[in-house]
């Protein structure tokens, strides 16, 4: 009898073809299954293909009495109660490969938009009848010769480092574990202690996972250590930054600006941020490319195939 997989969200079916050839798939008729619908379906399923922005809590996991694996559609898996899954003997996987390049691309676009005031000027040009043009108006900052500080040197961080160097930026980084000397040489990057990075970088970009140690990693204290001319970029997870503390720092111009793809309580955004010209806000679109969405579906599917056919997925996180 075929194993059954519950697909939480209506992700591209093109990425599920190989999976559907060998296993039975339960796919939502609308955009997604509600929590209540999931609770009804999960007892009959050996696998759950979950989505990064929907919770998979203890109640749902414990209801999955036949559940063997949860494959999360996304690199972040803080939406899943991994501790409960582990206690139940359930493997948890993510999709780190497919999300890498598009997230790095968005990061660079946010840095450019912020430093060259692209989003701000676009908005003001459209809405202000007295918007001023001029040689000494609307001045931003060039990236060439500036220092980019990356916090979290995983796959995405490394891709951002390479792309930033094409703009003439020096790259320093902080990571839970320092890379080998060979890796640092190959990537042309330099390790910095956390506080030193905060004090010296012109642009700080966050690429760390969300966990207990990184919750509010950037708060009032850390923001006060940054240069008044520095920019903060967050394409990681919203709660890595204390959003209210950031809004206050931006309003007081304690730092030059911020660009955010993620927020503490999505889709809610701290209202104070919405009123400021020195912040760029986008609605969690780091991987929002149709090609990427298909590749994420393929990678999430491959996790399931590898788990059952090879004994373990390379993307298992617990």
Query: Could you read off the pLDDT of 3-43 as tens digits, one per residue?
Result: 999 999 999 999 999 999 999 999 999 999 999 999 999 99
Rounded mean pLDDT of 259-264?
A: 97
pLDDT for 265 equals 94
CA distance 299 to 101: 14
Catalytic choice (117, 192, 237, 293):
237
Give tens-digit pLDDT for 92-113. 999 999 999 999 999 999 999 9
What are the residue ranges of CATH 3.40.50.720 in the chain?
Answer: 4-98+290-309, 100-281
Is 24 known to be catalytic?
no
Band (229; pLDDT cuts 50, 70, 90): very high
| Residue 195: how many other CB atoms lie within 10 Å | 12
Q: What CATH architecture does domain 4-98+290-309 belong to?
A: 3-Layer(aba) Sandwich (3.40)
- The residues that bridge with 279 in the sheet, in sequence order, are 258
Q: What is the CATH number of domain 100-281?
A: 3.40.50.720
Torsion of CA 54, 74, 143, 245, to 10 degrees: 30
Tell me what the mean pLDDT of segment 151-157 comes to.
96
Residue in 18, 183, 253, 266 annotated catalytic: 266
Question: What value does the mean pLDDT take over residues 50-63?
Answer: 95
What SS3 class is residue 79? coil
Catalytic residue among 117, 192, 207, 284: 284
What is the predicted pLDDT for the residue at 1?
A: 80
Active site residue 196: no
What pTM value is reported for the model? Answer: 0.90
> How many other C-beta atoms can be found within 10 angstroms of the C-beta atom of residue 115?
20
Known catalytic residue at 266 = yes
* Per-residue pLDDT at 53: 87
**Which phi and psi (to 5°) does residue 218 adopt?**
-110, 110
């Amino acid at each position: 009898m075929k194993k059954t997989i519950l697909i939480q969200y209506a992700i591209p079916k093109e990425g599920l073809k190989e999976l559907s050839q060998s296993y039975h798939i339960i796919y939502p008729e609308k955009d997604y299954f509600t929590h209540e619908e999931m609770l009804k379906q999960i007892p009959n399923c050996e696998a759950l293909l979950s989505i990064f922005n929907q919770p998979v809590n203890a109640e749902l996991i414990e209801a999955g009495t036949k559940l063997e694996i949860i494959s999360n559609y996304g690199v972040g898996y803080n939406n899943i109660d991994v501790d409960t899954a582990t206690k139940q003997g359930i493997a948890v996987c993510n999709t780190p490969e497919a999300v890498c390049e598009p997230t790095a691309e968005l990061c660079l676009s946010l840095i450019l938009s912020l430093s060259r005031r692209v989003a701000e000027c676009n908005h003001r040009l459209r809405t202000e009848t007295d918007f001023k043009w001029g040689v000494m108006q609307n001045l931003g900052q060039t990236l060439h010769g500036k220092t980019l500080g990356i916090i979290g040197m995983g796959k995405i961080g490394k891709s951002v480092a390479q792309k930033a160097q094409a703009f003439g930026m020096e790259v320093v980084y902080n990571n839970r574990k320092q890379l080998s000397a060979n890796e640092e040489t190959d990537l042309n990057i330099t390790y910095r202690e956390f506080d030193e990075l905060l004090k010296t970088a012109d642009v700080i970009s966050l690429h760390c996972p969300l966990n207990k140690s990184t919750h509010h990693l950037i708060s009032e204290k850390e923001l006060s250590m940054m240069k008044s001319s520095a920019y903060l970029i967050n394409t990681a997870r919203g709660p890595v930054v204390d959003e209210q503390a950031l809004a206050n720092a931006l309003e007081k111009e304690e730092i030059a600006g911020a660009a955010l793809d993620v927020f503490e309580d999505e889709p809610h955004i701290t209202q104070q941020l919405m009123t400021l010209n020195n912040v760029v806000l986008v609605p969690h679109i780091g991987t929002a490319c149709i090609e990427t969405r298909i590749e994420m579906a393929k990678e999430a599917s491959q996790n399931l195939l590898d788990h059952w056919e090879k004994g373990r997925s390379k993307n298992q996180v617990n």
